Amino acid sequence: MKDQLSDQGNTGRVVALLTRDEIDFIDKLSKDALFSTGHKLSRTDVIRAFIDAVKINDFNGNGVHSKLELEKRLLSIMRIPLQEPLHKLKRKRRLR
């Protein structure tokens, strides 16, 4: 484990409180990788990959006032068009 972290440079600990749905999503990505390739991705690997992917686009938080605005900006750099407002999509997802 120490060798793995030394490749990453200086590391720090972040405590994130996620919903059960968010954790399930990360775990599903990890299991998909495990079953398709035989390699397990840890939750930390998945979260780091998300962050590294966003950093490549030179993403910043200038002018962002809320989590919703941040999500919209992230979706725009992923070129995912919104058919309806984000808060309605989230509400539908929770009802399933």
Q: Give the pLDDT of the chain (96 residues) as one tens digit per residue.
A: 444 554 567 889 999 999 999 999 999 999 999 999 999 999 999 999 999 888 887 788 888 898 888 888 888 887 766 666 666 666 665 655
pLDDT given at position 47: 94
Contacts of residue 83, defined as CB under 8 A and 6 or more positions apart, other chains included, come to none
- Specify the pLDDT at position 87: 63
Reported pTM: 0.69
Are residues 72 and 65 in contact, defined by beta-carbon separation less than 8 angstroms?
Answer: no
